[in-house]
Amino acid sequence: MKLYELKAIAKRLNDFSFISRARRVEDNTLELMFDKSDSYFFNMTRGHSVVYKAPSQRPLQGYNAPFDTLLHTLLSASKLINVEVPNNDRILRLTLAPKSSYKDKIIYLQLEFTGKNTNAILIDDNKVIIEALRHIDADSSFRVIRPGMELLAIPSYERKEESKEIADIDVYLEEKHEQIQAKKLLELKKQKLSVTAKKSKKLAQLLEKLPDELQLAQQEQEYKSYGNLILANLYQIKPYDTKLKTYDFEGNEVTIKLPKNIKINRMSDYFFNLAKRAKNKAKNVHIEQENLQSKKDFYDNIYYALEQAKEPYELELLVPKRAKSQRKKERLKEGELFWIEGYKVLVGRNSNENQKLL
Label residue 333 by pLDDT band (50, 70, 90).
low
Under a CB-based contact definition with an 8 Å cutoff, are residues 319 and 302 in contact? yes
> What confidence score (pLDDT) does residue 143 get?
87
**pLDDT digit string (tens) for 212-265?**
878 888 888 888 888 888 888 888 888 888 888 888 888 888 888 888 888 888
Under a CB-based contact definition with an 8 Å cutoff, are residues 31 and 93 in contact? no
User: Whose CA is closest to 213, among 286, 292, 282, 290?
Assistant: 282
pLDDT above 70: percentage of residues in the chain: 92
User: Whose CA is closest to 54, among 162, 144, 134, 173?
Assistant: 173
Range 279-298 average pLDDT: 87
Q: Residue 128: what residue type?
A: V
Does residue 270 have a pLDDT over 80? yes
Give CB contacts under 8 A, 24+ apart, made by 48-52: 49/1, 49/113, 49/118, 50/1, 50/176, 50/180, 51/1, 51/5, 51/6, 51/9, 51/92, 51/173, 51/176, 52/173, 52/174, 52/176, 52/177, 52/180
Phi, psi of 75 (to 5 degrees): -100, -35
> What confidence score (pLDDT) does residue 329 get?
45
User: Whose CA is closest to 10, among 101, 80, 115?
Assistant: 80
> What confidence score (pLDDT) does residue 9 get?
96
> What confidence score (pLDDT) does residue 79 get?
94
Quote the CA–CA distance of 13 and 82 in Å, as a whole number. Answer: 8
User: Whose CA is closest to 90, among 50, 136, 33?
Assistant: 50
Q: Kindly compute the dihedral angle of the four CA atoms of residues 71, 185, 174, 169, in this order, to the nearest 10 degrees.
A: 80
Q: Is 192 exposed, middle or buried (0-12, 13-18, 19+ CB in 10 A)?
A: buried
Higher local confidence (pLDDT), 207 or 156:
207
Does residue 331 have a pLDDT over 60? no
Higher local confidence (pLDDT), 331 or 208:
208
User: Whose CA is closest to 193, among 294, 291, 308, 297?
Assistant: 308
Residue 303's CB: how many other CB atoms inside 10 A?
Answer: 18
Of the listed ranges 8-12, 202-206, 209-213, 306-310, the least confidently predicted one is 209-213
Quote the CA–CA distance of 219 and 216 in Å, as a whole number. Answer: 5
Q: Kindly compute the dihedral angle of the four CA atoms of residues 42, 44, 45, 49, in this order, to the nearest 10 degrees.
A: 70
**pLDDT digit string (tens) for 119-174?**
999 999 999 999 999 998 888 888 899 999 999 888 777 767 778 889 999 999 99
Range 319-328 average pLDDT: 57
- Show the 3-state SS of 58-120: CCCCCCCCHHHHHHHHHHCCEEEEEEECHHHCCEEEEEEECCCCCCCCCEEEEEECCHHHCEE
Quote the CA–CA distance of 312 and 86 in Å, as a whole number. Answer: 34
Mean pLDDT of the chain: 87
* HSE-up (13 A, CA, CB side) for residue 218: 5
Label residue 327 by pLDDT band (50, 70, 90).
very low
Quote the CA–CA distance of 63 and 59 in Å, as a whole number. Answer: 9
pLDDT above 90: percentage of residues in the chain: 46
DSSP secondary structure of 269-314: HHHHHHHHHHHHHHHHHHHHHHHHHHHHHHHHHHHHHHHH--SHHH
Q: Is 92 exposed, middle or buried (0-12, 13-18, 19+ CB in 10 A)?
A: buried
**pLDDT digit string (tens) for 57-114?**
888 788 999 999 999 999 999 999 999 999 888 999 999 999 865 667 899 999 999 8
Q: Is 237 exposed, middle or buried (0-12, 13-18, 19+ CB in 10 A)?
A: middle
Class of domain 3-166: mainly beta
Domain ranges, ordered by start, for the chain: 3-166, 184-319, 320-358
> What confidence score (pLDDT) does residue 325 get?
42
